[in-house]
Structure 1
Amino acid sequence: MAAQSSGTQKAASLGKFTVEPSDDGFRMRIETHAGEVMDVIATRDQVDVIADALDDLLAASEEDDEAAED
């Protein structure tokens, strides 16, 4: 899977995402609906940063949903 910039290229649609422990930290496999696969090894600190960023995005999205309901 080619790296994509935040420019004009359309991002691929996520098909499947898995994470499992490895000798080097964590092995993350990202698969698109088109079947392209990217395997990445990340340290515990890197996975922690990813988890924090996702938590922040989900919390903000939840707040937006609640505001829209009011």
Structure 2
Amino acid sequence: MAPTPTATVTPTQTPLPTATPTSGGSSWVTGVAYKVGDVVAYSGKTYSCLQPHTSLQGWEPASTPALWKLI
């Protein structure tokens, strides 16, 4: 009996968004690496980053006071 051939799958990586936070306050986006002092706009308010992190859904500035300070 001959062995059954198997397919090789090569994983691909999806690039992260390239939004660049600025002192003017770009819109908050998931998948962005924010650093301390970055300023973002979210739901009509402005927030400053308190600790470095990569944003995830559920970590919106209004929901994570450990990561974002309303300014």
Q: TM-score range by the shorter chain?
A: under 0.3
TM-score by length of 1: 0.23
TM-score by length of 2: 0.23
Bigger helix share: 1
Bigger strand share: 1
